[in-house]
Structure 1
Amino acid sequence: MTDDGKTYQGVAEIERWLNRAASEYTYTVELIGAERLGAADYVATQHLEGNFPGGTVDLRYRFALRGASIERLVIAP
């Protein structure tokens, strides 16, 4: 997965990213859009508000599925 220009691979790296992201800031999340881009490709857009730099942001979560698993995830404004 890629977030803030950094790529995280494997369960351990992604778990560390999740734990850091969840504990570093307090924020709310609202799903504001979702669309299917192809057979296994999707994008979901979420609006975040919180105590992080800037205070608000709309993030696009582009992901690809392989069966029931996420094969690739890119998070970007």
Structure 2
Amino acid sequence: MAIHFPAPIALFFQLSNDKNSASLDRCFATDASVHDEKHTYNGIAEITDWFIESKKKYSYTAEPLEMEGADATVIVRARVSGNFPGSPAVLRYTFELKNDKIWSLDIG
């Protein structure tokens, strides 16, 4: 059964599994923040750098398994496989949406 994600979240997972780096401003707000691996990245430039470096370092793919919530807060559990200890791992992505963009993302 397919999961029907809000558009910016669907695009985020599409870009996560794409070999090429794409423009993240299509799914993230310009003043968005991402918290991952005990670091916070603020603004589209820092988020883009984090995204590109993570893809290079871990060569990962993310397979969404389930989604909870709606409207402003959406939680997605995804199986992430790549070049990191403990792979594959199921991670929790907590998205805060605002104006049809990702305003914040916490990965844990």
TM range (shorter): 0.7 to 0.9
Alignment gaps of 5+ in structure 2: 1-33
Pick the aligned partner of 1:64 from 53, 75, 96.
96
Answer yes or no: is 1:32 the counterpart of 2:65: yes
The ranges of structure 1 where at least 4 consecutive aligned residues each deviate by more than 3 angstroms after the TM superposition are none
**Structure that is richer in helix per residue:** 2
Deviations 1:2-39, CA, capped at 9 Å, x for gaps = 00111000111101100101111223321111011x64
CA RMSD of aligned residues (A): 1.3
Residue of structure 1 equivalent to 2:35: 2
Q: Higher mean Cα deviation, 24-33 or 1-10?
A: 24-33
Alignment gaps of 5+ in structure 1: none
Distance (whole Å) between structure 2 residues aligned to residue 15 and residue 32 of structure 1: 25
Residue of structure 1 equivalent to 2:76: 44
- Equivalent residue letter for 2:61: T
Distance (whole Å) between structure 2 residues aligned to residue 42 and residue 48 of structure 1: 18
Q: TM-score, normalised by structure 2?
A: 0.64
